[in-house]
Amino acid sequence: MSLPKDFLWGFATAAYQIEGGADQDGRGPSIWDTFCAIPGKIADGSSGAVACDSYNRWKEDIQLLRTVGARAYRFSISWSRVIPLGGRGDPVNKRGLAFYQTFVDALLEAGIEPFVTLFHWDLPDGLEQRYGGLRDRVEFPLDFEHYARTMFAALPRVKHWITFNEPWCSSILGYNLGIFAPGRTSNRALSAEGDSAREPWQVGHNILVAHGRAVKAYRDDFKAASSGGEIGITLNGDAAYPWDPQEPADLEACNRRIEFAISWFADPIYFGDYPASMRKQLGDRLPVFTEEERLLVQGSNDFYGMNHYTANYVRHRTTEPPENDFMGNLDTFFEDKNGHSIGEETQSVWLRSCPRGFRDLIVLISQRYGYPKMYVTENGTSIKGENDLDVNDMIHDDFRARYFDGYVRALAAAVREDGANVRGYLAWSLMDNFEWAEGYETRFGVTYVDYENGQKRIPKKSAFSLKPLFDSLIQN
């Protein structure tokens, strides 16, 4: 028995990936609606316009959570459903708010603890049009604070708030590689606009300040009345191992890999400034915190939200980094110097299973940031070829169940043996859904969703695998 009695476990989703109802009850468009409409951006030409239709089938979703025994559920709010144009002077949509109020009440009624993400990438398109969205250092944080306050006031029963999901993805995939909305990049084959060398670092900075503003608002005006409410940010990051363990420069590169992915955001939050390795490589392309900004950001996590999926081998480079480099002048691989694979392949090119990496990364984060309280807010896997299977075979997802078993045991070992303070775990995802640029061809769900025939949901084997696993690990 290694996990505390009050350990929360369950499943996670995000608004644009499951809700659909894109035009219902006054929702405004988000940058993902706009991005999906551009031919060639999404693998199967799809969008989240209908997705799993959870906007209309949320009762089924809650029933599903009960069926599989979940204690917690992480979902996100569609900002443009609540404030269709997004800004602090724009009208609030009562019907959008009411949807989330009803949903939270129903979750609590079912004994399921809500974890609410305020921003899971679907920025109101109105703000993109008005001032360039996440690129605006002043307007964006103010509008985010107003939106956050609107939600804190509307959902007083929620005790776990996540400001931003994976700012690394918003910044790098959205503004360097240009493969996520709004799709800006220096690569002119993909976008007429964008500056991969500068915009991602400014966007990351603005997200940190917006996070800081929302946290201050929560602590000043809502936290006291919430009986134990807490707020934090969710960061993604992969474990890193040296491509050549005998090569000190590869070990240093592993450290840079973590710093450019995780410490980019976590160092300002825990220490008040960016890592020295980033300043050294990026110079004045990395913004400098004003004193006001630093005060907002430093100390702004009640907990560390960790999203984690995979691990890489890392090899240092001996050449000067190009201006669009965002990794810290290194290359990543799934095989080391001797051709040894880090783990089994999945449907996602960026994901291989490596449970030991989970434990090592939990320990690394714990050590660097002083053993913060942590929640794992996402962990899960796709399966190679899953979408090509007949549904009767698809629901026997032994690979996914094995992935969870390995990863959850690695987490339990980090708590039991390494002193990590992990208090919860949310598997990605409750159901198959819109996997961003991959469309619907890649499935991450523990529940099969039949998009063509009435959105029927059928829990897979892995959906039932977590309850017995956690029952065996949580103290009773």
Q: Which residues are catalytic?
A: 166, 378
Q: What are the strands, taking DSSP E only, across 189-246?
A: 230-236, 239-242
- Cα 205 to Cα 37: distance, rounded to the nearest angstrom: 28
Is 428 among the residues that bind ligand PNW (CB under 6 A)?
A: yes
Q: Are 307 and 378 in contact (CB under 8 A)?
A: yes
3-state percent breakdown (helix, strand, coil) of the chain, nearest 5: 45, 15, 40
Kindly tell me which residue out of 44, 59, 292, 350 binds ligand PNW, with binding defined by CB under 6 A.
350
Smaller CB distance to ligand PNW: residue 303 or 436? Answer: 436
DSSP letter assigned to residue 194: -
Pairing of strands 374-378, 303-307: parallel
**Which of the residues 99 through 118 are near ligand PNW (CB under 6 A)?**
none
Which SS3 state, helix, strand or coil, does residue 49 take? coil
Q: What angle do CA 373, 377, 378 make, to 5 degrees?
A: 140
For residue 232, which of 250, 249, 214 has the smallest C-alpha distance? 214
**Which of the residues 6 through 65 are near ligand PNW (CB under 6 A)?**
14, 17
Smaller CB distance to ligand PNW: residue 168 or 303? Answer: 168
The contact mask relative to ligand PNW for 290-309 (x = CB under 6 A, - = no) is -----------------x--
- Cα 162 to Cα 147: distance, rounded to the nearest angstrom: 13
Q: Are 212 and 268 in contact (CB under 8 A)?
A: no
Smaller CB distance to ligand PNW: residue 33 or 90? Answer: 33
Kindly tell me which residue out of 51, 104, 155, 169 binds ligand PNW, with binding defined by CB under 6 A.
169
Smaller CB distance to ligand PNW: residue 223 or 256? Answer: 256
Smaller CB distance to ligand PNW: residue 100 or 444? Answer: 444
CB of 250 to ligand PNW, least distance (A): 21
241 contacts: CB under 8 Å, gap ≥ 6: 254, 311, 312, 313, 314, 336, 342, 357
Is 404 among the residues that bind ligand PNW (CB under 6 A)?
A: no
For residue 76, which of 99, 49, 44 has the smallest C-alpha distance? 99
**Which of the residues 306 through 335 are near ligand PNW (CB under 6 A)?**
307
Is 435 among the residues that bind ligand PNW (CB under 6 A)?
A: yes
Contact stretch for ligand PNW (CB under 6 A) within 98-106, 165-173, 199-207, 312-320: 165-173
Contacts of 457-461 with C-beta under 8 Å, sequence gap 24+, read: 457/52, 457/60, 457/64, 457/431, 458/391, 458/395, 459/64, 459/67, 459/68, 459/395, 460/394, 460/395, 460/396, 460/397, 460/400, 461/395, 461/396, 461/397, 461/398, 461/400, 461/401
Smaller CB distance to ligand PNW: residue 75 or 222? Answer: 75
Kindly tell me which residue out of 199, 259, 267, 378 binds ligand PNW, with binding defined by CB under 6 A.
378
Kindly tell me which residue out of 140, 218, 260, 444 binds ligand PNW, with binding defined by CB under 6 A.
444
450 contacts: CB under 8 Å, gap ≥ 6: 391, 456, 457, 458
Residue 34: HSE in the Cβ half-sphere, 13 Å Cα cutoff: 18
CB of 174 to ligand PNW, least distance (A): 11
**Which of the residues 232 through 251 are near ligand PNW (CB under 6 A)?**
236
Number of residues interacting with ligand PNW: please give it, by CB under 6 A: 12
CB of 233 to ligand PNW, least distance (A): 13
Contact stretch for ligand PNW (CB under 6 A) within 26-34, 108-116, 164-172, 364-372: 164-172
Residue with tokens 């695998």: 465
Edge-first strand listing for the sheet containing 311-316 = 239-242, 311-316, 330-333
Position of minimal CB gap to ligand PNW: 350
Q: Are 345 and 274 in contact (CB under 8 A)?
A: no
For residue 267, which of 214, 208, 308, 334 has the smallest C-alpha distance? 208
The contact mask relative to ligand PNW for 186-225 (x = CB under 6 A, - = no) is ----------------------------------------
CB of 236 to ligand PNW, least distance (A): 5
Kindly tell me which residue out of 163, 165, 277, 347 binds ligand PNW, with binding defined by CB under 6 A.
165
Smaller CB distance to ligand PNW: residue 3 or 311? Answer: 311
Contact stretch for ligand PNW (CB under 6 A) within 48-56, 58-66, 97-105, 161-169: 161-169
Amino acid identity for residue 301 in this structure = N
CB of 379 to ligand PNW, least distance (A): 9
Q: Which residues bind ligand PNW (CB under 6 A)?
A: 14, 17, 165-166, 169, 236, 307, 350, 378, 428, 435, 444
